Structure 1
Amino acid sequence: MTAQTSGSTAIQHAIDEAKSRYRASNPKSWAQHQKAARVLPGGNTRTVLFSDPFPITLASAEGCRVTSLDGQTYTDFLGEFTAGLYGHSDPILKQAMMLAMESGWVRGGHIEQEEQLASLICNRFPSIAQIRFANSGTEATLYALSSARVVSGKNKVVVFEGAYHGGVFTFGAQVSPLTAPFDFVRAPYNNWEETEALLNANKDDLACVIIEPMQGSGGCIVADPDFLRALRDWTKARGVILIFDEVQTSRLAGGGLQGVYGIEPDMTTLGKYIGGGFSFGAFGGRADIMERFNPLRPDYIAHAGTFNNNVFTMSVGVAGLSKVYTPEAAAALTSRGDALRNRLNEIASNASFPMQFTGIGSMMNVHMCEGPVRSIRDLVGSNLPLRDLFYFDLVEQGYWPARRGMFNLSLPMGDAEISGLTDVVARFVRDRSALTQ
């Protein structure tokens, strides 16, 4: 038996033991999963939250913690995949929600808060002259891509390997059969030479290019600013619409990563935390593009949606952006996240196995691989069983990350939560190093 085979066997044995303890500690979640499986495929209606041998069911949440049916309380580093920026019980957001509830909902008409939220967003993002609301990042992407095709009169859409632009726009290592049937051209992330060749080959029927300034679902893989600038220059010179998907990354600065880099796309999609915990999506951009949605135009594009301006999202979103997540608060949280990631990478450098954390600010992802991670191509040799073991070890010690290794900070987190995470990561490095030696 080779050392590598021996290490793999040891890791699998450790995973089996961890799963056994997991089952024993969560009997009520197991019972709830069995009930759910009778009416939901796999007991699940959101694949990313599923975790074998069964998912833990959460019963309540407060601050930066979640509590399961089995009474286990976890420090929440999943952060609802960046939507949980404000935590679970911010008093300012709660007050806004209660006022909205008292004033009545599902009104079926315009409300003041939709203009207020739109103004807050447009003021933060210079590239967004006007904006439209939707109910999710997925919807926002759908409308942005469709708008670009209508306005340009062309069909093709350049996307990037590893991208996730919503439930029907997934471009990971495996092609999702649910991906919408647009005419997509997949380009390599952070590889300008190959990307430019694809752009040139498809320029005659290219409606738009869409990119995340940092891939979220792909593993918090950061785009090289020079790569983004090259995209901006190429698309601008040829009249091709450039779309930045900042559904997640907009939290990293007052004006998103586009503001940090000084790059203005033609359109931007938003979602997640801006709704303050309620369903939210938005797409906006240049005035000449967005003006096509003006119902007073004879050639207007219709855009409906029962809950686009729902009173809860609009009211809580306004309170969040105006009173809680100011540009100054965004800068402070990003600084804390950068410091945490640097500390985690120091700890990981002492491991006997490859381990690193990528990301920017309050968003990061662990990878069990060597070398720089510039695209999902660099993750081919990752030790996924070891990442699974990392997940089970953290859950057992009271920490709640994403199964795929994503960690997101929330505003209620203090020094105790940050120190606690560094301690459990250090323990993992210390206790599990023997498995790979």
Structure 2
Amino acid sequence: MEPLPAEQPAIIEGAIEELEARYSSTNPTSRAQLSSASRVLPGGNTRAVLYYDPFPLFIESAVDARVTDVDGHSYIDFTNDMTAGFYGHSNPVILAAIRSALDNGISFGGPHQHEMALAEAICSRFMSIDRVRFCNSGTEANLLAMGLARAATGRPLVLAFRGAYHGSLASYSNTDAPLNVDIPQMRFARFNDEQDVRRVLEKDGAQIAAIIVEPMMGSGGGILADRAFLAALRAMADECGTLLIFDEVVTARLFPGGLQDLVQVRADLTTLGKSLGGGLTFGAFGGRAQLMDRLDPSRPGAILHGGTFNNNVLTMIAGHIGLTEVATVEALQAVNSRGDKLRHKLLEVAKERRTALSIGGHGSILSLHFQPIAPQNPAEITTTPKQRKLIHFDMLLRGFYVPRRGTINLSLATSGEDCEAFLEAFAGLLDRYSTLLPRDEASAKA
């Protein structure tokens, strides 16, 4: 791939300025709400991933596969709450379950049948989970899993991967991020690089309690782990007496038993979150009975794990109904098929326009990279922030709610017609801006 001509950055800047001006002029209420919110929220925001300059859209309502902003614009939603909105915004089965639950009380303050039902559903679907514990987010789940691994092994260190995201307190795109916890007890290797993992284990393996890995990096670029890489991690963990943790907070939605169904590599501990709460606050971690039973409070020397809202009744009911009645095998196969079809057609329109494009992710999660060869780890991503910004503004102005980082998340409510509309808009975007994006030299020479 040849570099862009020297004059291209200035042209991109001009295109972005034009789009940003249109965006600002058509969304005055969102702009004003950010200003008002900033008086009580740092930056007018309480979730950094949802912020983008000059201001994010403020959402007024969401129904099925659509969101509507405070200025009255309706968008086909391809963000879907960063995969947490997998069931769509108004699934009637889940809504009915939540409404019914409200009539029986919101906060029980005691064990109840609904947490048992959700636990049974999870244990029956995930091959690596004999027992499960609930918490309130994927962040919590990952921190608790790492803590349990340290307690179970008596070792202080955890090996993770650069560019990984395991929550707001374990965000490794910048390992020195101020809110990251336990950094002195962390070791890092390159994703999809078995030899780099061996390098770390040769030095510190005797002190490493766990290897934590996303079977597919989410915010790191939708990069799938090679099956051979995950199998090697399993073998190396066994050699070192180290536990293997799969972070399936994002990828659990891809198959009935998560991405582990595809790769057929069994983790010692698995973490869950996002969509499995039926759209409500949710986290979980589970694994082999021998490990999880260390959390049994009836046993002497148990590791105590609490949390006021761990078994909140609304999430337990929504999660159970969602997992057993909505996210069926047939539904997952259908939405993954729509995602695969969209992936194929997006690559086709890019090739026709000689634009370099690779698409990470799997099934219903797609991550766009404007480069001819798909990255194998985050360090290989070459799409620039300005290119991301250009695409983001253009798609928003065309009526598609997408995140700036280039991920497309389909929901069960996303229709084939929605995907066709996205494809048409994307083709139009490339027609307008292909000269500002990297060229696919192989297509150009064909």
TM bucket (normalised to shorter chain) is: over 0.9
C-alpha deviation, 1:204, in angstroms: 1.2
Name the structure 2 match of 1:92. Answer: 93
Q: How many residues align?
A: 435
Distance 1:425 1:72 in 2: 19
1: CA distance, partners of 2:174 / 2:306: 34
Please report how far the alpha carbon of residue 367 of structure 1 lies from its aligned counterpart in structure 2 after TM superposition. Answer: 1.3
Match in the other structure for 1:81: 82
Could you say if the C-alpha distance between residues 3 and 336 of structure 1 is closer, same or farther in structure 2, counting changes exceeding 3 Å?
A: closer
Take 1:64 and 1:73, find their aligned partners in 2: how far apart are those partners?
Answer: 10
Distance 2:275 2:230 in 1: 24
CA RMSD of aligned residues (A): 1.4
**What letter corresponds to residue 279 of structure 2 in structure 1?**
G
Question: Is 77-86 or 348-357 further displaced after alignment?
Answer: 348-357
Whether the aligned pair in 2 keeps the contact of 1:369 and 1:383 (CA below 8 Å) is no
1:38-437 equivalence runs, <5 A: 38-173=39-174, 175-182=176-183, 183-379=185-381, 381-435=382-436
Following superposition, the deviation at residue 335 of structure 1 comes to 2.0
Shift of 1:194: 1.4
Whichever residue aligns with residue 50 of structure 2, its letter is L
- Verify the 8 A CA contact 2:358 2:373 in the aligned structure 1: no
In structure 2, what residue type is equivalent to 1:302?
L
Q: Which runs of 5 or more structure 1 residues have no equivalent in the other structure?
A: none
Q: Does the 8 Å contact 1:368/1:387 carry over to 2?
A: no
For residues 368 and 167 of structure 2, the distance between their equivalents in structure 1, rounded to whole angstroms, comes to 22
Deviations 1:256-284 (A, max 9, x none): 11111111100000000010110000000
Task: Give me the whole-angstrom Cα distance separating, in 2, the residues matched to 1:428 and 1:39.
Answer: 37
Q: Check the 8 A contact 1:368/1:384 in 2, yes or no.
A: no
1:83–1:425 CA distance, 2 compared to 1 (3 A): same
State how far apart, in whole Å, the 2-side matches of 1:372 and 1:276 are: 32
1:240 maps to amino acid: T
Alpha-carbon distance in structure 2 between the residues aligned to 1:431 and 1:306: 52
1:225-281: CA deviation from partner (whole Å, max 9, x where unpaired): 000000001112332100000000011101111111111100000000010110000
Q: How far apart are 1:344 and its partner, in Å?
A: 1.1
| Aligned-partner SS, 1:209 | strand
For each residue in 1:289-326, what CA deviation from the matched residue of structure 2 results, as whole angstroms up to 9, or x when unmatched? 00001011111011111100001100111111111101
Give the Cα separation in 1 of the matches to 2:149 and 2:267.
12
Tell me, in whole angstroms, the C-alpha distance in 2 between the residues paired with 1:120 and 1:163.
Answer: 28
Rounded Cα–Cα distance in structure 1 between residues aligned with 2:261 and 2:357: 31
Paired AA for residue 384 in structure 2: N
Instruction: Return 151-160 or 177-186, whichever deviates more.
Output: 177-186
Instruction: Give the whole-Å Cα distance in 2 for the aligned partners of 1:401 and 1:11.
Output: 20
| SS at 1:366 equivalent | strand
CA contact (8 A) 1:161 1:171 kept: yes
Structure 2 gaps of 5+ residues are 440-446
Instruction: Give runs of ≥4 in structure 1 deviating > 6 Å.
Output: none
Q: Deviations over 1:103-139 (max 9, x none)?
A: 1111111111000000000000121000000000000
Specify whether residues 335 and 418 from structure 1 end up closer, same or farther in structure 2 by C-alpha distance, changes over 3 A only. same
Q: Is the 8 A contact 1:367 1:387 kept in 2?
A: no
Instruction: Say whether the 8 Å CA contact 2:360–2:374 is kept in structure 1.
Output: no
The alpha-carbon deviation at position 7 of structure 1 amounts to: 1.0
Partner of 2:11 in structure 1? 10
Query: Is the CA contact 2:359–2:374 (under 8 Å) kept in the aligned structure 1?
Result: no
Report deviation, 1:368: 2.2
Percent of matched pairs sharing the same residue:
42
Taking the aligned partners of 2:375 and 2:72, their CA distance within structure 1 comes to 38
- 1:328 is displaced (CA, Å) by 2.6
- Is 1:35 paired with 2:25? no
TM-score (norm 1): 0.97
Amino acid corresponding to residue 278 of structure 1 in structure 2:
L
Aligned twin of 2:444: none
Report SS of the residue matched to 2:61.
strand
SS in 2 for 1:282: strand
Q: Whole-Å Cα distance in 2 between the matches of residues 174 and 206 of structure 1?
A: 18
Deviations, residues 9-46 of structure 1 (Å, cap 9, x unaligned): 11110000100001100011111111001111111111
- Per-residue Cα deviation, 1:353-393 (whole angstroms, up to 9, x for no partner): 433221100111111233231001111x3232112100000
What is the CA–CA distance in structure 1 between the aligned matches of 2:265 and 2:175, rounded to whole Å?
A: 31
